[in-house]
Amino acid sequence: MDEMLPTAVSSTVGTSGLVSMIVSLLCVVLSWWALQNLKLDLVIRYPKSPQGRLLHLLLAIVLGHFVAGFLIDYLSWSGQIRYMF
């Protein structure tokens, strides 16, 4: 029984990491897609320039990171509810 515990913990941590990575990447992609509708030409002088596109990408990463953090926390909290009762 003691030999199976490290394997179970390793598997759980690995699965959690993989889910977090997939959720994060999906949120960045969704943020990129949502930001396509944003009129950056009102804020940026040349939105089609490399700097404008880089800013667009960085905004998508930041927004995706915050959304993914919320979703991952929510998944974690919902998994902890079973210990309540």
Q: For the residues 26-55, what does the mean pLDDT come to?
A: 91
Does residue 29 surpass a pLDDT of 70? Answer: yes
Tens-digit pLDDT profile for residues 13-26: 888 899 999 999 99
Residue 46 φ/ψ region, left for φ over 0, alpha for ψ in the -120 to 50 degree band, beta for the rest: beta
Name the pTM for this structure.
Answer: 0.81
Between the CA atoms of 10, 18, 70 and 58, what dihedral angle is there, to the nearest 10 degrees?
Answer: 130
Q: DSSP label at 71?
A: H
